[in-house]
Structure formats: C-alpha cells, structure tokens
Amino acid sequence: MPVEWIPGTGYFSNSYVYGSVLIDAGATPFMVEPYRDDIRTIILTHCHYDHIAHLREIRDMCGGAEVCIHELDAPGLTDQSLNLSMMFGERGSDIGPDVILSEGDEIGGLRVIHTPGHTAGGICLYNSDEMILFSGDTVFSDGGFGRYDFPGGSLEMLRNSIERLSKLDIEGLFPGHGNPVFSGGNRHIMASLQVLKMSYF
C-alpha cells in the first residue's frame, strides 16, 4: 500500500496517509483535503502541539474520523503542560481521543509499538510485510532522534526504544520531521542508536 507524505512546514510535523489512516495532524487541513474522503482514522504518534495542531479541523473535514493515541499520552491532548502548546503561543487541542492505543494493537494494517522516551506515550507504527515504520519523534533519518528533556521524556527510555526498533526489518522510515527514506531504514535507525551510545552514555 503506498504511503502519501504530507511534508510539515515550519515547526509542524509531517503527516502521512496510509490507506484510510492519517498519521499525525501537523499538516494544514488544506494539504490534507485531497485525502478527506479516504481518511477514517487519525493516529497520533504523541501529544505534542506540532503533531496535533490541526486535529479538530482535520477530524471534522474527514467526517468525524476516529482519533487514536496511546493511553499515556491521551491526557496531553488537552493538557497544555504536556502538549507544549504554550511554547508555540497556542492553546492546543480541545478534544479527547476516541480510541486508546496500547502496545501490540493493530489498526489500519499497522502494529502499535510503544516507544517512550520523547514522551511517555510515544508510539511508532509498523507493518512487517511492507517493512515500513512511521516513527513519530522517536527516531529520524540521518542519525537523529527526539528530544528527551520535555515532560514525560527519558534518555534511558529513548535509547531502549530505539534499540528495540533497530531489531526490526525496516526499509521505509517515515519520521515526524525531516525527509522519509524509502529503503535502508534500518541503517538510519542504527546510526541514531550509535550516536546515542557514543555521545550520551
């Protein structure tokens, strides 16, 4: 199944369309609008404002698509101290989730992998048959990884999460920020893990 990349602008996150699923709501509704009739589910990789900024507008535009987030990040949808909206001069979301996600859940052909470290309830989404990973702000391409100094963050948990991801078969890596890669995703994850091990431990 093809992945449609909707690049983030400014500090807003990338969004991706995978079948009937929209991953993250950082893209503007205008950019998501061409897919409005396909989207039935919105999965949020975590609760930070740059990933949820347009959640209400996109949900309504897509006819009330179900909003899904991990149980540990669900409070952050409406809690400004957790979603960091005040750092952006904004108010954050005013809606809660329809579906609470947990480790191992399957939704829209994707398996939920709980990857704490950037936030307590950060997740990645994996399809083993297609060897693709939507990695949110856990790990980026070219050796990058998410910050761990925000509420709920943990350097040790982030390292453990990325080490876990490094054991998966991954070709396509679709991160929350920066450019995705369509082959050799494992190499990028291993590069991030090596940076963490050499520089932070």
Q: Give me the residue label for tokens 């856990």.
A: 138
CA distance 125 to 22: 12
Q: Return mean pLDDT, the chain.
A: 94
pLDDT at position 2 = 93
Local structure of 114: helix, strand or coil: strand
Q: Per the structure, how many domains does the chain have?
A: 1
pLDDT tens profile 112-156: 999 999 999 999 999 999 999 999 999 999 889 999 999 899 999
pLDDT at position 68 = 98
pLDDT at position 10 = 86
CA distance 84 to 196: 24
Name the pTM for this structure. 0.95
pLDDT at position 91 = 77
Of the pLDDT bands very low, low, confident and very high (cuts 50, 70, 90), residue 196 is: confident
The answer to whether the CB of 122 falls within 8 A of the CB of 140 is no
pLDDT at position 83 = 84
Q: What is the CATH number of the domain that holds 84?
A: 3.60.15.10
Q: Give me the residue label for tokens 């400014």.
A: 10
> Phi/psi zone of residue 104: left (φ > 0), alpha (ψ -120 to 50 degrees), beta?
left
pLDDT at position 200 = 58
Of the pLDDT bands very low, low, confident and very high (cuts 50, 70, 90), residue 92 is: confident
Beta bridge partners of 19: none
Q: What is the mean pLDDT of residues 46-57?
A: 95
Of the pLDDT bands very low, low, confident and very high (cuts 50, 70, 90), residue 201 is: low
Which residues lie below 8 Å from residue 55, measured CB to CB, with a gap of 6+? Answer: 25, 42, 44, 67, 77, 93, 95
pLDDT at position 125 = 98
Q: Which helix (H) or strand (E) holds 163?
A: helix 155-165
Domain range for 104 is: 3-200
The answer to whether the CB of 177 falls within 8 A of the CB of 48 is no
Q: What is the mean pLDDT of residues 90-95?
A: 80
